[in-house]
Amino acid sequence: MKRFAANRIYLSVSDVFTNAIIELSDDKKLLQVNLLSEVSEIHSTPFYNGILLPFDKETCLQCLKDYLNDTLHTLFMERVFHIGDDVTSLSLLSGPKLFSTGELKQIEIKELL
């Protein structure tokens, strides 16, 4: 089992979790997403300052080229994630001004899966 926590986790345009933890099985199936305030034991879970998206790095790079918010709607029109679904990629979008100004110029993308 793998768990990742972050400021935001997107599973769809309407399923956005703030300060949450995503849990995946060893075979990369989505088990659950919970708010950090509702989870009692997270001591071995890494917390990432940024946004977790269930897409690969190349797809996320395309998001940034096309401006994140509009492209997220398009991405999630093609693929919405539910409990039990396969999550073959998980990428972290992070940057010093991502949450304070929404500025996308200094965004880094790192694949976690």
More confident residue, 84 or 78: 84
pLDDT band at 7 (very low <50, low <70, confident <90, very high): very high
Q: Residue 31: is its pLDDT beyond 90?
A: yes
- Which range of residues forms the domain containing residue 52? 2-111
For residues 95 and 106, the answer to whether their CB atoms sit within 8 Å is yes
Total number of domains in the chain: 1
Residues 89-100 pLDDT 10s: 999 988 876 666
Kindly report which listed range (28-32, 59-63, 72-76) carries the lowest average pLDDT score: 72-76
pTM of the model as a whole:
0.81
CATH number at residue 95: 2.30.40
| 3-class SS of residue 26 | coil
